Amino acid sequence: MGNCLRHRQPATIVDGDDEHEHWIKTEKAEELTTSRPKETSAPSTEVRIRISKKQLEEFLRQAEIKGLPTRDVMIELINMSMAESNEIIHDQYHWKPALRSIAEEPDD
């Protein structure tokens, strides 16, 4: 009971191209997809996705080819960052030791 809860940490995606990094601020994905006015919606959550300028341009170019609106592109970026964040958290809590085999010497 209670041990199935995971505390989620903000995801950061970096490709090493520090000089071209940008922060993209968006609202929670659910708020982007709904048409309700902000007054009736739940409190918003800020999501930050850190990617390089090159990655952003490539992602937007692919979205333009597919004909996706910017809102859908942002939702996809949020989903990708959440998936990567979950993988990082999963790897931290599921550590396995690196065991090596020990050769046995025959009894003479």
Is 9 part of a structural domain of the chain?
no
Q: H or E element: which one contains 79?
A: helix 70-93
Q: Kindly write down the DSSP assignment for every residue of 23-43, as one continuous string.
A: EEEE--HHHHH--S-GGGSPP
pLDDT of residue 30: 47
CA distances from 55 to 38, 43, 79, 88 (A): 31, 30, 16, 20
Domain count, the chain: 1
Q: Find the radius of gyration of the CA atoms of the chain.
A: 21
Is 107 part of a structural domain of the chain?
no
pLDDT of residue 15: 54
pLDDT of residue 22: 43
Which residues does the chain have with pLDDT short of 70? 1-42, 47, 84-95, 108
pLDDT of residue 18: 47
pLDDT of residue 27: 44
Q: How many CB atoms lie within 10 A of CB 42?
A: 10
Domain holding 74, by residue range, is 18-93
